[in-house]
Chain A
């Protein structure tokens, strides 16, 4: 439990860093170039880690199902949706909605026990917990910047 929590927290910290770095690439190189680069790097790194920890075992794919090959589509779906939503909405709003949606779908999948997840029965507590977290996300994201700061930021982004 504690180990799992530490793993999740460090994953989150890395996601935060990765977002910042990827945005830097995105500003200069465009979103598809960035996506290709990011996924390519991720593949190379996963391959390297697998080879270090498992050696030749890395190439033994037991119980491989054909649909596993299609799993990469999800990553591309993520990029398309995020880029489109950022274009249409204020990015701060868009991020808040994305994070909210992540949480509600996680609750849904846990409750249904889909895709081999261990089913975790839905309780009112879980819903309240998720709602409080979502409240926190919106408080964090939406009340932070004054209009003036936002304008300044946009100008700087444009210049960069």
Chain B
């Protein structure tokens, strides 16, 4: 039960983040908004890390450098997200983001890229993506 509540709040925060970023970017600019929210987030996370001390930098050293760089993608993600929300609203933007996100997962899982355990994709995955696309088309009418 608590797990479900956490998951619901997690989703709400993700959406709120996109909406807040797009609001902030109206005033100070999109790159500025992206840099600002991530700087404050970084500082808070750093403070928590200081107290919690989970994991280790030793562990970080064992990760391939390219995987450590993934955070940089957020600059483009936030820019695109904010611009899309400005132009077509949150519901439509987030629907499109989710479809592309699941398609990407689908591609990586079915090909076993990046050392991910290869999974066979079956009919339900195709039906699922088809339903999501249909849902977006319904949204637009």
Contact = CB atoms under 8 A, between A and B. Distances in A.
Q: Chain A contact residues (Cβ within 8 angstroms of B): what range?
A: 35 or more
Residue among A22, A57, A109, A152 having the largest count of chain B Cβ atoms under 10 Å = A109
B63 A28 contact: yes
**Interface secondary structure of B, over-half rule:** helix
A24 B34 CA distance: 24
Contacts of A25: 60, 63, 67-68, 70
Interface string B68-102: 11111111111111011111111111111111111
Contact of B40 (A20, A57, A70, A97): A70
B96 to A, nearest CB: 4
B8 A89 contact: no
Contacts of B42: 36, 39-40, 42-43, 72
Contacts of B32: 50, 58, 61
B55 A31 contact: yes
Interface in B8-23: 8-23
B36 A103 contact: no
A139 B68 contact: no
Interface string A82-113: 10110111000010011111111111011000
Contact of B52 (A7, A17, A32, A130): A32
Complex A-B, nearest 5 residue pairs according to Cβ-Cβ distance, in ascending order: A30-B55, A101-B11, A72-B40, A12-B100, A140-B128
Interface of A: 1, 3-5, 7-22, 24-25, 28-50, 53-54, 57-58, 61-65, 68-82, 84-85, 87-89, 94, 97-107, 109-110, 114-118, 120, 125-126, 128-141, 143-145, 149, 152-153, 156
